[in-house]
Structure 1
Amino acid sequence: MTATSNELLGLAFMMFFIITLSSTARYYFKFFCFIVLAVICAVGPVPFMLLRPRDYRNALLPAYLCTKFGQMLGASFEVRGKENINRQHGGVVLMNHQSALDLIVLAFLWPIVGRATVVAKREVLYMFPFGLASWLWGTLFIDRKNRNAAKTAINKESKAINEKQAKILFFPEGTRGDGDSLLPFKKGSFHVAVESQGYIQPVVISKYHFLNSKAKIFNRGQNIIKILPEISCAGLTKDDIPPLMERVYKLMQSEYELLTDESLAINNLSKSL
């Protein structure tokens, strides 16, 4: 064995012990692995995506790979409420937003909801090569700093709800929140739902007890994704948006609390075994 090989082997052992003993080192290492693996999952199939650009099916293989890599890193999910999905019409899918790991949640939902489009901030488009892959599977990029442009882009996409029976996926909080309560919802997704006279499909993800960005903890954990029954927006107008937002928020908050308590009990039980 050469000196270089010995040095690499020694470095590998040193990294192993640091990651084993330090939760902070483990946190950054696992997130680094997640980012690298996510990019590989997304970019690897790009040559095949070029054959049908802007097609939601381009994300099916990356989604499958992402769920498997998520499990490998310790982020496991159980999906409930699949019977509440109706592929015969489009709608707006609302999900609570906690972390970059929500990409795994999208990966689980993508093959379930059918023809899907996700809304993301414009900056993601320039995160090459991930941005290219996102564009190829139909991500709608909006400029949050330009409200009029963002509203116009989303309203155009909302036509796909009725014309293509598409599901548009939103994080209504607009930013990440990891507390015991959901953050206040923004109006954009509700405008789309009302304008399309379609359906809102709330999806609630239990709190990530295994993840704590402040304490730099990234352990293993079992999480729950629950797809709730649709809410019809037929007959609603812009004046109905505030009470609709309040209704959906209370519904999702109540479910978030229940799922969070259940997932905490599940994770505590697994630790004791």
Structure 2
Amino acid sequence: MLVQAIRSLLFYGLYLGQTVVLAIVIGLDAVLRGRTGFGWAAARYWGASNLFFLRWVVGIRSDVRGMENIPDGPCIIAAKHMSDWDIFAILPHTRRPAFIAKRELMDIPFFGWAARAFDTIRIDRALGGEAIPAMMEDARAALARGCRIVIFPEGTRKAPLAPPDYRFGTARLYAELGVPVVPVALDSGLYWGRRSLVLWPGTARARFLPPIAPGLSAEDFHAELAAAIEGETGRLLFSAYERGLAGPIAPELRERLEALRPQDPSGDTTTY
């Protein structure tokens, strides 16, 4: 525990330190020159270097699959969100991403300037439904520039197997933009907990799932998206649990994981 805590502290120092430096450099560059190749190169370096630090400092490997499910044209990538690993892991496969982020993040000096240079779409959740028209306008403009929109449908990080809370904003985007939506399931919260200062070794996994084609009603899409992400996320979490986890498992999480255990026809539990 002590060794892993020290390793985690070292990672946070590297991660936060370089994030601050890069935000200042990219933010100033964005103010002076707007969107530039330098900014995109720095963003790719940021994501790749943090995955490197996670692998070699705290022992979190990355396993991302299903990229063949991402359409060549415009689309929305809708991902489960458990930790910052999710951003690092998804970023290389988004081509030119337009992340949807809450206004508070965009108001941070330098960080917000850098985010705007990367086509980030701001949403003011305090405005409720009144924020949707502005988000739609920015989303259409981002698609026209060749971006892929990236959204976390629950709006915030969630602990593994916490009750899902899918907002209707993704369904509104789907209905109004008329582009495919690629669900993304992942299990990173087992290694980088939402409120844990200690990161635990293991292999964090993300899966890009088959896209949901345009044409469904907003209600049907909303249900299908949640079912796809939650179903595959549950399978990833249970598979990791069965293989064994280095970190502690809270009793509530263990109970929820055990509830995912398949049963054979006789009613006895089985293992994968």
For the aligned pair, the TM-score class normalised by the smaller chain equals: 0.7 to 0.9
SS where residue 108 of structure 1 aligns?
A: helix
Matching residue's letter, 1:260? L
Q: Does 1:65 align with 2:46?
A: yes
What displacement does 1:204 show?
Answer: 1.3
Unpaired stretches in structure 2, ≥5 consecutive residues:
247-272
1:151 maps onto 2:137 in alignment: no
AA aligned to 1:226 is R
Quick one: which of 66, 78, 81 aligns to 1:94? Answer: 78
State the 1:29 CA deviation. Answer: 5.6
Q: 1:184, 1:193 → 2: CA distance?
A: 18
Output one character per residue of 1:108-130: Cα deviation in whole Å (capped at 9) or x when no partner.
32332223200111111222221
Deviation at 1:249, TM superposition (A): 0.6
Instruction: Name the aligned partner's letter for residue 77 of structure 1.
Output: S
Q: Does 1:253 align with 2:230?
A: yes
Q: Which amino acid aligns with 2:21?
A: I
Deviation at 1:229, TM superposition (A): 1.4
Q: Alpha-carbon deviation of 1:232?
A: 0.8
- CA gap of 1:174–1:29, structure 2 versus 1, over 3 A, is same
Determine the C-alpha separation between the residues in 2 that align with 1:267 and 1:194: 41
Aligned partners of 2:145 and 2:197: how far apart in 1? Answer: 43
Q: Percent identity?
A: 21
Inter-partner Cα distance in structure 2 for 1:156 and 1:265: 45
Range moving further from structure 2, 208-217 or 174-183 = 208-217
Superposition TM-score, scaled by structure 1 size: 0.76
- Matched with 2:166 is 185
* SS class of match (1:218): coil
Matches within 5 A, 1:39-118: 39-46=20-27, 48-49=29-30, 53-54=34-35, 58-73=39-54, 74=58, 75-87=60-72, 89-99=73-83, 101=84, 104-118=85-99
Alignment check: 8 A CA contact 2:121 2:139 kept: no
**How far is 1:231 from its partner?**
0.8
Q: Is the 8 Å Cα contact of residues 27 and 112 (structure 2) preserved in structure 1?
A: no
Q: Provide the C-alpha distance between the structure 2 equivalents of 1:245 and 1:213, rounded to a whole number of angstroms.
A: 25
Local SS of the residue matching 2:109: coil
* 1:135-182 Cα shifts (integer Å, max 9, x gaps): 111111111101244201211023236534431111101122113246
How has the CA–CA distance of structure 1 residues 229 and 191 changed in structure 2, closer, same or farther, with 3 Å as cutoff?
Answer: same
* Residue 194 to residue 54, structure 1, CA distance change in 2 (3 Å): farther
1:1-273 paired onto structure 2 within 5 Å? 21=2, 30-46=11-27, 48-49=29-30, 53-54=34-35, 58-73=39-54, 74=58, 75-87=60-72, 89-99=73-83, 101=84, 104-160=85-141, 163-181=144-162, 183-214=164-195, 216-234=197-215, 236=216, 240-265=217-242, 268=245
CA pair 40-215 structure 1, distance change in 2 beyond 3 A: closer
Number of residue pairs matched by the alignment: 242
For residues 165 and 182 of structure 1, the distance between their equivalents in structure 2, rounded to whole angstroms, comes to 34
Partners in 1 of 2:219 and 2:43 — Cα distance? 37
Cα shift readout 1:81-120 (whole Å, capped 9, x = no counterpart) = 1111222x21211011113x2xx43233233222320011
The answer for unaligned runs of 5 or more in structure 1 is 1-19
Aligned match of 2:264: none
Is contact 1:211–1:217 with CA below 8 Å preserved after alignment? yes
Helix, strand or coil at the partner of 2:190: coil
* Superposition deviation, residue 69 in structure 1: 2.6
Q: Identify the residue that residue 250 of structure 2 maps to in structure 1.
A: none
Aligned partner letter, 2:77: V
